[in-house]
Amino acid sequence: MAFTNLAIALSDIQITYRSDHEILNVLKGVSLFVPQGEIFGVIGRSGTGKSTLLRCLNGLETPDSGEILIHNKSLLKATHQERCKILSKVGTVFQEFNLLSRRTVLQNIALPLEFAGASADEITVKSTEIAALVGLSDKHSAYPSQLSGGQSQRVAIARALASNVSLLLCDEFTSSLDPETTIEILSLLQDLNRRLGITIVLVTHDMSVISEICNHVCVLDSGKVVEIGPTETILLNPQHKVTHSLVSHLFAKDLPRVIHETLRNLPLENDHAVLRLTFSSNATFQPTIAAIIQTFGIPINILTGNTGHIREMTFGSLIVTLPINTTLNNGHALLEDILAYFQMRHIAVEVLGFIPPL
Amino acid sequence: MTSLIIQSSLETLLMIGASAILSVLIGIPLAILLWLTSPLGLAPHPYLRHMLDGFINAIRSIPYIILVILLMPMTRFVVGSSIGTLAAIIPLSLAGSLLVTRMVKDVFFNIDRGLIEVGLAMGASKRQIITKILLHEAMPSIVAGVTTVLINLVGFSAMAGAVGGGGLGDLAIRYGYQRYDFTLMVIIVVILIILVQAIQMTGDFISHTLRK
Q: What is the mean pLDDT for each group of 10 consecutive residues in chain B (212 residues)? A: 87 92 96 93 92 92 88 87 85 94 95 93 91 95 95 87 77 82 88 94 95 84
What pLDDT does B162 receive? Answer: 64
Determine whether the interchain pair A102/B122 forms a contact, defined as Cβ–Cβ distance below 8 Å. Answer: no
Per-residue DSSP letter, A21: S
Task: Give the three-class secondary structure for A25.
Answer: strand
Is A202:A174 a contact under the CB 8 Å cutoff?
no
In terms of CA atoms, which chain A residue is nearest residue B120? Answer: A60
Determine whether the interchain pair A98/B114 forms a contact, defined as Cβ–Cβ distance below 8 Å. Answer: yes
Task: Give the three-class secondary structure for A232.
Answer: helix
* Mean pLDDT on A164-187: 87
What pLDDT does A219 receive? Answer: 94
CA distance B71 to B64: 10
CA distance A291 to A318: 16
CA distance B60 to A42: 51
- Tens of pLDDT, residues A183-207: 888 999 999 999 989 999 999 988 8
What pLDDT does A348 receive? Answer: 79
What distance in Å separates residue B44's CA from the closest CA in chain A? 15
What distance in Å separates residue A111's CA from the closest CA in chain B? 8
More confident residue, A269 or B201: B201
What pLDDT does A170 receive? Answer: 93
Instruction: Give chain B positions within 8 Å (CB) of A20.
Output: none
Give chain A's mean pLDDT.
86
* Mean pLDDT on A97-105: 94
CA distance B58 to B46: 18
Instruction: Give chain B positions within 8 Å (CB) of A84.
Output: 123, 125
- Tens of pLDDT, residues A51-88: 899 999 998 999 999 999 999 889 899 898 888 888 88
Chains A, B: CB contacts within 8 A come to: 67
What distance in Å separates residue B138's CA from the closest CA in chain A? 9
Instruction: Give chain B positions within 8 Å (CB) of A94.
Output: 114, 117-118
- Tens of pLDDT, residues A244-266: 778 776 665 567 777 777 888 88
What distance in Å separates residue A285's CA from the closest CA in chain B? 49
Question: Which of B118, B119, B210 is facing A102, going by the closest CB pair?
Answer: B210
- Tens of pLDDT, residues A317-328: 788 888 887 777
Can you give the pTM of this predicted structure? 0.81
Q: How confident is the model at residue A2 (pLDDT cuts 50, 70, 90)?
A: very low
3-state SS string for chain B: CHHHHHHHHHHHHHHHHHHHHHHHHHHHHHHHHHHHHCCCCCCCCHHHHHHHHHHHHHHHCCCHHHHHHHCHHHHHHHHCCCCCHHHHHHHHHHHHHHHHHHHHHHHHHCCCHHHHHHHHHCCCCHHHHHHHHHHHHHHHHHHHHHHHHHHHHHHHHHHHHHHCCCHHHHHHHHHHHHCCCHHHHHHHHHHHHHHHHHHHHHHHHHHHHHCC
Query: ∠ CA A327-A332-A337 to the nearest 5 degrees?
Result: 165
What distance in Å separates residue A157's CA from the closest CA in chain B? 12
Q: How confident is the model at residue A298 (pLDDT cuts 50, 70, 90)?
A: confident
With pLDDT > 70 as the criterion, what percentage of chain A qualifies? 95
What pLDDT does A4 receive? Answer: 60
CA distance B65 to A42: 62
Task: Enumerate residues 6+ apart whose C-beta is below 8 A from B102.
Answer: B31, B56, B60
Which amino acid, residue A295? T
End-to-end CA distance of chain B, in Å?
47
Determine whether the interchain pair A94/B118 forms a contact, defined as Cβ–Cβ distance below 8 Å. Answer: yes
Cα-atom radius of gyration of chain B, to the nearest Å? 20
Q: Is B209 on the interface with A (CB under 8 A)?
A: no
**CA distances in angstroms from B142 to A257, B42, B108, B113, listed in the order given:** 59, 20, 9, 17
Determine whether the interchain pair B115/A83 forms a contact, defined as Cβ–Cβ distance below 8 Å. Answer: no
Q: How confident is the model at residue A312 (pLDDT cuts 50, 70, 90)?
A: confident
Instruction: Give chain B positions within 8 Å (CB) of A145.
Output: 212
To test the contact with chain B by mutation, choose from A93, A102, A152, A173 the residue with the greatest count of B C-beta atoms within 10 A, namely A102
CA distance A319 to A339: 14
Instruction: Give helix then strand counts, H and E, for chain A.
Output: 12, 14
